[in-house]
Structure 1
Amino acid sequence: MPPLSHSVTEELSKRLHQARDDLLETLRSRTGSADDDAPAIGALAHQGQSDDGAQSEMLSHNEQHLADHESALLHEIGVAIGKLESGGAGICETCGCDIPEARLMATPTVRLCIACQEQLEKDQHTGRGPSM
């Protein structure tokens, strides 16, 4: 496999580090509190004295789901940065074929070539399927 071009490597590194910094800032702003209040993520974080318990629980559940998603995304960014720094970026984790630079530029955390991604989605029934 030809290595990624220097300009693509620099651009991917810049994008991945910026995405990581932005995501960390988002997480800090949501979980930190200036007034010793409970963070927004927590079982009773959205419940006041006269609030609806079910609605508060739903909001807390949504915050937890979002935090889980952001944590997974942070992990994917970390993996992509590691692969970029070790020279493994642009190689499909399943078949070892090249991942086109255009695909990496579109989705810097991509780990599979198009053919392997399509097969994975087919096997797991997670593809988008027909659109309307």
Structure 2
Amino acid sequence: MAEKIKALTKKQLETLKNKLLEEKQSLVFNDKNGAAELDLALTNGGDDVEQSISDYNNSHQLRFRNREVFYAKKIDKALKKFDTDEYGLCSDCGCWIKFERLMARPTAEMCIVCKEESERDESNSFIGRQSKSLGKVVDLTGMMA
């Protein structure tokens, strides 16, 4: 039987909100650094190896920026939940998420039981898998021929 989780205290909520704000502030590619300021290296006149290295570095810089933009959106979504007193509630079962889980992952939207069940269902389903980072359905039916 699942244990009953108590609502978060005001002190816990304040701690978690500060943690979210600190994480958002610590992002390398925050709002101050737009796409134009990425300082992507453009190699003109270099040989193929230099161009390949430049392309490789640029793609990684863009990938990291995209990941941070995605994470910043998750942080903003979590911060908005403080205004509606929904922060810390599991989006699946409606129960409270443990403080320890939220300290480890302050953008968590599901309690550990629901998250584990969701991941189990996802890993057991070949058709209709979802991208964990983008939340988009991945169509694998075209691969079956």
TM-score by length of 2: 0.69
Higher relative contact order (CA 8 A, sep 6+): 1
Q: Write the distance in 2 (CA, Å) between the matches of 1:122 and 1:46.
A: 44
Q: 2:87 maps to which residue?
A: 89
Q: 1:35 maps to which residue?
A: none
**RMSD of Structure 2 on Structure 1 (CA):** 2.7
Q: Secondary structure at the match of 1:98?
A: coil
Q: 2:15 maps to which residue?
A: 11
Would you say 1:123 and 2:121 are equivalent positions?
yes
Q: 2:109 maps to which residue?
A: 111
Q: From the two aligned structures, give the one with the greater helix fraction.
A: 1
Q: Which runs of 5+ in 2 are unaligned?
A: 124-130, 133-145
Contact 2:7 2:96 in 1 (8 A): no
Q: CA deviation at 1:82?
A: 0.8
Contact 1:41 1:63 in 2 (8 A): no
Contact 1:92 1:112 in 2 (8 A): yes
* Structure 1 segments (4+ residues) deviating >6 Å: none
Q: Write the distance in 1 (CA, Å) between the matches of 2:6 and 2:117.
A: 25
Change in Cα spacing, 1:30 to 1:49, as seen in structure 2 (3 Å) is farther
Aligned residue pairs total 118
Q: Secondary structure at the match of 1:27?
A: coil
Would you say 1:50 and 2:46 are equivalent positions?
yes
Q: CA deviation at 1:119?
A: 1.6
* CA-to-aligned-CA distance 1:25-53 (integer Å, 9 cap, x gap): x2159947xxxxx73354xx252542621
Contact 1:40 1:46 in 2 (8 A): no
Q: CA deviation at 1:62?
A: 0.6
Q: Write the distance in 1 (CA, Å) between the matches of 2:32 and 2:44.
A: 18
Q: Write the distance in 1 (CA, Å) between the matches of 2:91 and 2:39.
A: 34
